[in-house]
Amino acid sequence: MKKTLKWLAPLLIALPLSACGGDEPPPFDERENLLTIDDQSPEIPNEIVVAEVLAESAGYVVIHDADDEGELGEPLGTLPVEAGSASDLTIELARPLLDQELLYGSLYLSEDDAETFEPDDALLAIDRGEPVRVQFTVSIEVEEIAPALVAEDQIADPINEVVIAEVASDVDAWLVIRADDEGTPADVIATASLEAGSYEDVRVILSRDAFEDETLHASLHIDAEPEDDFDPESDIVVTVDEEPLTTSFVVTLPELQPVATISVDDQSVSFEAADSIVIAAAELQGFAGWIAIYADDEGEPGDLLASELFSAGELENITIALDEALAASATLHARIHQESPADGDFTYDGESDEDPIVVVDEAPVMATFDVTLIDPSAPQLTVEDQLLESLPLNEVTIAELVYDQDGWLAIYDAEDTLLGAVAVAADPAVKANIVAPLNRDIEDGEALRVVLHSDITAGDAFDADVDLPVLDATETGVEASFIVELLENSLEARDQSLDEVSTEVRIDALHAGESVILEIFAEADESVLLAEAALDYGIHQDIALTVGRPLEDGEVIVAQLFKLEEGERVPAEDEAGDPVRVTFEVTVPDGTPAVFLTFSSNGNSYRVSAVRPAGYVDIVDGGSTTDDPTLTLFRGWRYGINNTVYSANPLQFGHPSGIAGLDFTSLISQDESGSYNGDSQVNRVADGQRIWFTLTQDLVDANINTYRSADTPILMRGDLDIEDAPTLIER
């Protein structure tokens, strides 16, 4: 922002002269304030040396840059000085200087401390009626940039990013990452555009996840046509001594504890179906893996009977074919192995490290189960007591039925009232997990009975008088009794560290025995609601809730369940009749943002591809597919940004000025241009492509209203809408 200086007119002082013995006037050249800064070539490009300073009272020497018209610009550095004289003082500046850059040095007299001092013309020191201000020029030795490319073997974390330790180019260039094909660079899996210059620790996002022990190849290519995409034909590789500038490196994956589970029920199969088993459920988080089936050897896995590869994810009711059909009932083991190396072959032998056993909490992820071979001509019915974990409340599950004819399973209550019937087919002879719908909801703790009936007339509805009960070899009806229980209201929440965002808490588990409303509020102030969620009957786990304000370190938070009665919220109760309520403490590390955004690019525009927590997604006007969207930021809140296109488009936050807004005042930035980058209250932290800052009132007063790319400032820029923090709802 250009500042107009009010030059003070010289003061005319009439001094009486005496021809005979009067007081002598002071010497005309006696100085009260003085500042001398010579043209210089600083060894450190962000430091200058003040040759001499004389101040009649305490004050500050301030170094300003020059604006586009060569007039006084923004402050770059401040140095406090005491009354009196000093020489050879060094001032550290907020950014490196440019070769032949014009600078201003000014002496200000002020008793303010360094935290609150701001240069003001009213404080400008005066000597002989003139402001104490000097101009000087710096000469910075500009070294030739020698092309360089250094990449080290590394752990990819996250697994779709790599870091290039050093890149240098004297022209605009493309940094290109390729996969390996038997030692030769192959498919392009990442590119990053770089302006001429030297860079360290450049993060490059891959188009896919890296593999364990994968060799990758990096190369540097001249950007033949600026602002277009990488073209391997026109963007030729940079050479040094007539050799292509390339390097190779090996990527390993973080040693993360694999997360996996497996559940297998005991099962009965006919002799004809003894060539496969069913896995009830399994989960592989973040890795592909094998489910291997083993025979039993004195309680431990023995001979391998089957193996099948699965991608990461959740699995349910998976049928795995055995290499050979079982000849008799047996105990088997199902165990999960990690697919490593990724070759599609199961090569675990217990000695090498290939396809290792997945271990969680120091135990192999394994399930042991019994397989019983049965005669399908002998009807059998198995049903277990059950807890209804989700809606609807008018269904029960029959664990297993052995019956090789068409029939009916009829469900009766304790008064022998028919609640429902489900048809069963002759094939397959062994049927599992049969869901039977009922004509009313279950009552908690209700005793029910399931009876197998024949199907006398195929295709008609169940008729108890016609479709008679099936009898076993002892002339006894095939039936079973069981108890059905409903959920009781309960809550579980642990103390938690909010190290990613301070506006999201998690509830570990919630059992809702009815429709409930989960409320979140602070124990210190129960009058306002921080978050709420309406939940149906069922088991809910790992619930993420966006809260209405940043939480503070050490706050105790309350989670409580409520229900609606005649339109009013009343506390929900547990089995003992007590309110369902838990408290937990949050730890909020210093510098934790309230909201974290991920910036990406769509050609020549920024896009905000993700917002954490999701409850604040509305601060991005138009959503994740909008180019350069308007962002709503709340004064006083802290923000974090992962700018995935940082290397080509570092962010600046500030305000435009001048004709058509072509000039720009950078207040916070990922480069060194932000005038508030060093402000302790803003607490700007920059870590490569990530930046954190607090939106202070000083920034608001400085008119922060725009974000833009430092390198593509005209095309990539969007508005900031600064608002007060959201108002919390009264409870």
The answer to whether 634 and 627 are in contact (CB under 8 A) is: no
- Is beta strand 631-634 parallel, antiparallel or unpaired with respect to 717-723? parallel
Residue 573 in this model has a pLDDT that exceeds 60: yes
% of residues, the chain, pLDDT over 90:
71
259-374 to CATH, choices 1.10.150, 1.10.8, 2.40.50, 2.60.40: 2.60.40
**Interatomic CA distance for residues 544 and 537, integer angstroms:** 18
User: Comparing C-alpha atoms, which of 121, 172, 97, 127 is closest to residue 648?
Assistant: 172
Give the tokens for residue 563.
């229900």
* Distance, CA of 471 to chain centre: 61
When pLDDT is averaged across residues 517-524 and rounded to a whole number, the result is 97
**Hunting for tokens 């290792």 — which residue is that?**
356
pLDDT top residue among 9 and 349:
349
> What pLDDT is attached to residue 104?
96
Residue 5 in this model has a pLDDT that exceeds 70: no
338-341 LR contacts (CB < 8 Å, sep 24+): 338/258, 338/287, 338/288, 338/289, 338/290, 339/287, 339/288, 339/289, 339/290, 339/309, 340/212, 341/212, 341/213
**Interatomic CA distance for residues 385 and 584, integer angstroms:** 34
Residue 269 in this model has a pLDDT that exceeds 60: yes
> What pLDDT is attached to residue 229?
86
When pLDDT is averaged across residues 587-608 and rounded to a whole number, the result is 93
Over residues 219-237, the pLDDT tens digits come to: 999 988 877 789 888 888 9
The answer to whether 628 and 717 are in contact (CB under 8 A) is: yes
> What pLDDT is attached to residue 693?
98
29 confidence band (pLDDT: 50, 70, 90): low
Q: Where does the chain hold its CATH 2.60.40.3580 domain(s)? A: 380-486
**Interatomic CA distance for residues 588 and 323, integer angstroms:** 54
Residue 660 in this model has a pLDDT that exceeds 60: no
594 confidence band (pLDDT: 50, 70, 90): very high
When pLDDT is averaged across residues 491-514 and rounded to a whole number, the result is 96
DSSP 8-class letter at 143: P
When pLDDT is averaged across residues 547-555 and rounded to a whole number, the result is 97
> What pLDDT is attached to residue 564?
95
| Residues in the chain, total | 731
When pLDDT is averaged across residues 619-637 and rounded to a whole number, the result is 95
Residue 6 in this model has a pLDDT that exceeds 50: no
The answer to whether 391 and 537 are in contact (CB under 8 A) is: yes
1 confidence band (pLDDT: 50, 70, 90): very low
Q: DSSP for 563-609?
A: EEETTEEEE-B-TTS-B-EEEEEEE--TT--SEEEEEEESSSSEEEE
When pLDDT is averaged across residues 64-88 and rounded to a whole number, the result is 91
Residue 122 in this model has a pLDDT that exceeds 50: yes
121 confidence band (pLDDT: 50, 70, 90): confident
CA count, 13 A, side-chain hemisphere, 230: 20
Helix (H) or strand (E) holding 653: strand 651-657
Over residues 404-448, the pLDDT tens digits come to: 899 999 999 999 999 999 999 998 888 989 999 999 999 999 999
% of residues, the chain, pLDDT over 70:
94
> What pLDDT is attached to residue 108?
94
> What pLDDT is attached to residue 12?
28
> What pLDDT is attached to residue 659?
57
The answer to whether 297 and 257 are in contact (CB under 8 A) is: no
658 confidence band (pLDDT: 50, 70, 90): low
When pLDDT is averaged across residues 30-42 and rounded to a whole number, the result is 91
The answer to whether 596 and 642 are in contact (CB under 8 A) is: yes
25 confidence band (pLDDT: 50, 70, 90): very low
94 confidence band (pLDDT: 50, 70, 90): confident
Residue 19 in this model has a pLDDT that exceeds 90: no
> What pLDDT is attached to residue 256?
64
pLDDT top residue among 258 and 202:
202
> What pLDDT is attached to residue 15?
32
Residue 146 in this model has a pLDDT that exceeds 80: yes
Q: What topology is assigned to 380-486 in CATH? A: Immunoglobulin-like (2.60.40)
661 confidence band (pLDDT: 50, 70, 90): low
> What pLDDT is attached to residue 22?
43
Specify the pTM: 0.56
507 confidence band (pLDDT: 50, 70, 90): very high
Q: What topology is assigned to 490-587 in CATH? A: Immunoglobulin-like (2.60.40)
Over residues 403-416, the pLDDT tens digits come to: 989 999 999 999 99
**Interatomic CA distance for residues 532 and 547, integer angstroms:** 8
Over residues 459-474, the pLDDT tens digits come to: 899 999 999 999 988 8
**Interatomic CA distance for residues 704 and 699, integer angstroms:** 6
**Interatomic CA distance for residues 84 and 56, integer angstroms:** 6
Q: What topology is assigned to 148-252 in CATH? A: Immunoglobulin-like (2.60.40)
Q: What is the dihedral of CA 276, 281, 286, 288, to 10 degrees?
A: 0
Over residues 168-215, the pLDDT tens digits come to: 998 889 999 999 998 999 999 999 988 888 888 899 999 888 888 899
Please give the class, per CATH, of domain 34-138: mainly beta
The SS3 call for residue 656 is strand
The answer to whether 34 and 84 are in contact (CB under 8 A) is: no
**Interatomic CA distance for residues 436 and 450, integer angstroms:** 10
Asked which of 69-83, 105-119, 490-504, 669-683 is least confident by mean pLDDT, the reply is: 105-119
- Say if domain 595-723 classifies as CATH 2.60.40: yes
Over residues 151-166, the pLDDT tens digits come to: 999 998 888 899 999 9
